[in-house]
Amino acid sequence: MKLTPKVACALTCLAAGSPLFAETTQSDLIGVWQTGLTEEQAPGGGPSAYLRQTTIFTDSLQDIRAEIFADPDGEIPIFTYASSGPYTPVGASDVVPGALNVELINETSEVTIYMDVPDLMAAVGMGECDLVLNEAVNVRDCISGPPFLVTDCTDLDLVLVDEGGSRLRFGDQSVDRCVSRPTKLDDVQFFKVE
């Protein structure tokens, strides 16, 4: 029987006592991670725009930003949503190989608008927020729907760093993470930029 290189490597790793999946550790998370720009349509068939997400992990805090642009080159900003708070690693995932379970707390949720687009803001659940051009405004109490719902719970999530430490993925974001931890990874991929 001839073994493929992948199977041979897997058997060699097992024989050597090395795990097939490297476990994600807290130190793997630290840094700045970013997605590419993607065209997204607002919930309910609202207008489309271009989204780039950035997450920053330190030893104790996680910041996440969603930057929304009017153009595919990311040169005409519409608004930025920023959220921040502490996180705690709580051990290896027993359902997603190599992932680290984390608990996140949202302490701040702010939106800065760069142009007046009431239809788009209403479509993303911020039509009732008193937003001011070029000023960060706390939106914790005025968001009325997805995709930027602000929770007061401890967010039960998981995170995987793979591809030699260059890619980060969170757990499935469609799960109510106030109630249960995701059991699979989200499709969105963040790549390390610093």
DSSP 102-125: EEEE--EEEEEESS--HHHHHHTT
Q: Enter the tokens of residue 183.
A: 């059991």
Task: Report the chain (194 residues): mean pLDDT per 10 consecutive residues.
Answer: 39 39 89 96 77 97 95 95 96 95 94 92 90 94 79 89 96 88 96 95
C-alpha dihedral sign at 18, 191, 108, 156: negative
Question: At a CB cut-off of 8 Å and minimum separation 6, what does 27 contact?
Answer: none
Q: Whole-model pTM above 0.85?
A: no
Spatial separation of the C-alpha atoms in residues 24 and 171, rounded to whole Å: 13
Q: First vs last Cα of the chain: how many Å apart?
A: 45
The pLDDT, as a whole number, for residue 43 is 72
Spatial separation of the C-alpha atoms in residues 106 and 63, rounded to whole Å: 9
